[in-house]
Structure 1
Amino acid sequence: MQLAMNPARPMIRLLLACAPLAFPGLAFGRTAAPTPEEVLANAARYTVKINVQTTTGLNADNTGEHSGTGFLIDRERGWFLTNAHVASRSPGKIALSFKGGKPIPARRVHVDTFMDVAVLAIPPQLIPATASVANLECGSLPQEGASVFAYGHPWGLDFTASRGIVSGFSWFSPQELIQTDATINHGNSGGPLIRVSDGKVVGISSHSYKDAEDKSATAVGLAQPMPSACRILSLMRQGKDANLKLLPIDVATRRKGAEPTVAGESQLAPDFLPGDQIIRINGSDEIRSYPEMVDLLRGSEGPVFVTVKRGEKIVEIQSPLKAVPNPLSERALNVSGLVLSEPWRVDNAEVDPTGSLVVVDIKTESDLGATDVRVAYRLKYVNGRAFRRISELYEYLATLQDGYEIQMIFWQPTDYEQFSGGHVVATVQKGKLEWIAAVD
């Protein structure tokens, strides 16, 4: 993988506004550079272990118990930063624990699956007096070659570290991630990637990557860059909407180091033309990548002014925004063990323009357990009727008597192994209807 932006350049200059944030509890009270031993001792005071028990897997979340890492970033608010895939978007119980401490129930206050970032909270009075607050590097990306620690709980080895360097910045669409040879394993997810020279957290350990077909391959570690996460935290601290917002157009995102390019026409924003290169948002510095564009759109409350390059011309366009549903405000409907929700994927208009309801989980007690219906299938018809709102489906099913046979027709989306999609017909007996909220 090659660098998709200049690492010496801040991810977006707008994020420099995050630099003055008064994140309390700097790691060290003196100006001399900390020793590696001091960096790790401090990490042990702000890092926590997170345990999650998920009862229903919404939006492709797994059910059951899993664990990860997080770290304290705001003592007054009781906020902890971690990965979205650690916090999950599904109902369940979350608890976190400091080193040597007992589990403390936590709640989700923000989950962003695009950034794979989540913020958890506990009552501030339950934070130990000995705990410190992580010192975040909000202003810029770390330099290649910088020595870093990945701190967390790999494979249940709690509060331990691995050491490596920042190897570069790799493109995993639609994100640019910090690549490191510091070992990141199961249990490290959501933990701090710490620069050894000053103890600042430069990223959030996310996952590891290797070629599954090469048995001799060594995995590389990947981490979410801190500046984009700081943008979310800055908006939250100001009481503003930090949820993901996008332009109502298709944008090509898979080219490394290229300006976002309009990839289709849109009735909501007809002034864009396919091939337009998006170079500025609201007069910003020139945009270098798709993640920069997303960071600039986050927090916007109304139409934005978009500068595009169209051939040799520079064109200014006023565009509305498309709000992406907040995963914590979503709810699903359990119909006799079949759990359905409204579409939640960012690309749903492209995949299924009709907006069919989506299968997000199938309980073991469901009549569909032995059928070909799977999670992510689209519900096209119920007893010959199409439903686009989960509330409308509930109103219809509530009129049926328990035990009434319901015929359902599903559409099976294609994947890489399929030549084409198909349709599946299945029946269930109408039973108790249950609403399932993302937050208990």
Structure 2
Amino acid sequence: MISETKMKLNLIGIIASFLLISVISAHAENDEDVFSKAQHYTVQIRKAVTIPFGNDKKGTAFGAGFVVDTQRGWIMTNAHVVSRSPARLEVAFFGRKFVPAKKVYVDPFLDLAIISINEEMQKATAALPELECTNLPGVGRTVGTFGHPNGLKFTGTRGIISGHTAKYESEMLQTDAPINPGNSGGPLISLSSGRIVGINTSSMNDSQNSNFAVPMQYACRVLDLLREGKDPSPPDLPLAFFKAPNEQMQLRIARSLIDPAKFDIRAGDEIVGVPGVVESVENETQLIHALRGRLGNVALRIKREGQELVINGKLEPVKKVNDKTCIMFSGILLCETPSYMGRDDFNPGKIAVYFVEAGSLGDFNEIEKMDMLNSVNGKKIETLDAFYSVLKTSQEEKKPINFVFRDTGGKGAPSYFTYTERTLPVENLTWVSNEKNGG
């Protein structure tokens, strides 16, 4: 009797072990299949930036991307991978040479961009990957990253979805799957479904397990609008929101710089939804997602002084990244500041220094990035066109110009600004833009 019981237990153990081995083997085969497919739709992206706008850096860098439309030759990646500045771009598939690429769309809010390749390379692309456009992956979902970490090309790693956070600039997926330099722009893939759930974006410094990705739910909206020939730009929303305690989800306005004649949004209002689109929004990313492709006359559901009401107004799209135009002379790049900055009490000015070439005349005269243009030959300058006209005359007549710059180094008594005065000749004057300089 005892031996018979032992035999049954041994048999059950053998069956359980066999089933466990089968499950592990199935998972391993599935993971291998997922990464094998990713190897064919993932690309390496190489960029070179000579004149950086804003937070971009001069130089060459590498990242990743993945095919999202074979007919159009579209590849999705991060904005920081292809740069929001004029840049030379090249793309390479696994086992193939680099070929030229160009920007189709760069988002000013999400770290997201679409680039395109020529017809010859379109023929070389693999079948389209599946995108998870509907739902955010749950915490605990097993995922894999694919890209080129630290120059190790076409490499896969795995982990789980650790959470969702809107603590930083936009709502992100949090994962413990490693994301290193070279992974940015590559796919974050559900290893159970094989679908891409996010775009690998960044990692937290001094942390091995806190990495972030743009959710595909938000990226897909941009892609769909582009395919329909519509503008996917986010709304121009110069709103400052209160920082909620303990990451509490709410959109309560601390300061509105929107023209009240266009939209009567006030300090103290809480935005809770977009009628006819979504009942509730918990953060700025969700609000922008709900408004993409629906700008012009817009309705918002808000709470004001304890009452819930719907207000109507007009919202315009933010200026496109690819349309940004600046002026370069004597090694100094100057661009217009965002329009809403001129509406605030703390008005820095209309035109600012965005880049100074090392070793240039501007660098020699100690002009620094984010110096604000205060006056030119004693006069205020409000637009780049007017500024260019003055600079062109100076260059033609070979007469130096007196510039007054200011920055925010003041102590507040009597001014928050400090001022510098420089007299410079104008050399090598030119317009700089994504279209003209390789964007």
Fold conserved between structures, TM > 0.5 = yes
Q: Distance in 1 between matches of 2:410 and 2:150?
A: 32
The reply to whether residue 281 of structure 1 matches residue 274 of structure 2 is: yes
Q: Which deviates more, 94-103 or 262-271?
A: 262-271
Q: 1:158 to 1:352 in 2, by over 3 A?
A: farther
Alignment partner, residue 364 of structure 1:
358
Alignment partner, residue 238 of structure 1:
228
Displacement of 1:301 in angstroms is: 3.3
Kindly provide the amino acid, as one letter, of the partner of residue 106 in structure 1.
A
Question: Which residue, 181, 189, 210 being the options, matches 1:220?
Answer: 210
Kindly provide the amino acid, as one letter, of the partner of residue 363 in structure 2.
G
Q: Distance in 1 between matches of 2:224 and 2:409?
A: 40
Q: TM-score, normalised by structure 1?
A: 0.85
Q: Distance in 2 between matches of 1:315 and 1:407?
A: 53
Q: Distance in 1 between matches of 2:258 and 2:38?
A: 50
Alignment partner, residue 132 of structure 1:
127
Deviations 1:32-59 (CA, angstroms, capped at 9, x unpaired): 9971000000000000000001111122
Kindly provide the amino acid, as one letter, of the partner of residue 141 in structure 2.
A
Alignment partner, residue 10 of structure 2:
none
Displacement of 1:237 in angstroms is: 0.7
RMSD, matched Cα: 2.4
Deviations 1:61-103 (CA, angstroms, capped at 9, x unpaired): 1111011000000001110000000111222210000000011
Q: Distance in 2 between matches of 1:130 and 1:396?
A: 50
Q: 1:344 to 1:34 in 2, by over 3 A?
A: farther
Q: TM-score, normalised by structure 2?
A: 0.85
Q: Distance in 1 between matches of 2:327 and 2:346?
A: 20
Q: Distance in 2 between matches of 1:403 and 1:107?
A: 38
Q: Distance in 2 between matches of 1:83 and 1:93?
A: 15
Length, aligned pairs only? 402
Contact 2:238 2:256 in 1 (8 A): no
The reply to whether residue 65 of structure 1 matches residue 56 of structure 2 is: no
SS of the residue 2:386 aligns to: helix
Q: 1:303 to 1:121 in 2, by over 3 A?
A: same
The reply to whether residue 325 of structure 1 matches residue 316 of structure 2 is: no
Question: Which residue, 311, 333, 343 being the options, matches 1:339?
Answer: 333
SS of the residue 1:308 aligns to: strand
Q: Distance in 2 between matches of 1:130 and 1:438?
A: 26
The reply to whether residue 437 of structure 1 matches residue 439 of structure 2 is: no
Displacement of 1:175 in angstroms is: 1.0
Q: Distance in 1 between matches of 2:54 and 2:178?
A: 29
Larger relative CO (CA 8 A, sep 6+): 1 or 2? 1
Question: Which residue, 229, 247, 262 being the options, matches 2:253?
Answer: 262
Q: Map 1:149-168; keep pairs closer than 5 Å.
A: 149-168=144-163
SS of the residue 2:163 aligns to: strand
Larger Rg: 2
Q: Distance in 2 between matches of 1:348 and 1:80?
A: 37
Displacement of 1:244 in angstroms is: 1.9
Kindly provide the amino acid, as one letter, of the partner of residue 86 in structure 1.
V
Displacement of 1:318 in angstroms is: 1.1
Contact 1:368 1:426 in 2 (8 A): no
Contact 2:341 2:347 in 1 (8 A): no
Displacement of 1:186 in angstroms is: 0.5
Q: Distance in 1 between matches of 2:180 and 2:375?
A: 43
Q: Distance in 2 between matches of 1:346 and 1:148?
A: 40
Alignment partner, residue 295 of structure 1:
289
Contact 2:70 2:125 in 1 (8 A): no
Q: Map 1:351-430; keep pairs closer than 5 Å.
A: 353=347, 355-400=349-394, 401-413=396-408, 420-430=416-426
SS of the residue 1:45 aligns to: helix
The reply to whether residue 272 of structure 1 matches residue 262 of structure 2 is: no
Kindly provide the amino acid, as one letter, of the partner of residue 160 in structure 1.
T
Contact 1:278 1:308 in 2 (8 A): yes
Q: Which deviates more, 342-351 or 56-65?
A: 342-351
Displacement of 1:143 in angstroms is: 0.5
Q: 1:186 to 1:414 in 2, by over 3 A?
A: farther
Displacement of 1:341 in angstroms is: 1.0
Q: 1:180 to 1:321 in 2, by over 3 A?
A: same
Q: Distance in 2 between matches of 1:407 and 1:395?
A: 15
SS of the residue 2:287 aligns to: helix
Deviations 1:7-52 (CA, angstroms, capped at 9, x unpaired): xxxxxxxxxxxxxxxxxxxxxxxxx997100000000000000000
Q: 1:251 to 1:56 in 2, by over 3 A?
A: same
Q: Which deviates more, 248-257 or 268-277?
A: 248-257
The reply to whether residue 75 of structure 1 matches residue 70 of structure 2 is: yes
Displacement of 1:249 in angstroms is: 3.9
Alignment partner, residue 112 of structure 2:
117
Deviations 1:183-224 (CA, angstroms, capped at 9, x unpaired): 11001110100010011100000011035xxxxx43521111
Q: Distance in 2 between matches of 1:79 and 1:203?
A: 17
Kindly provide the amino acid, as one letter, of the partner of residue 429 in structure 1.
P
- Structure 1 portions without partners, runs of 5+: 1-31, 212-216
- Structure 2 portions without partners, runs of 5+: 1-26
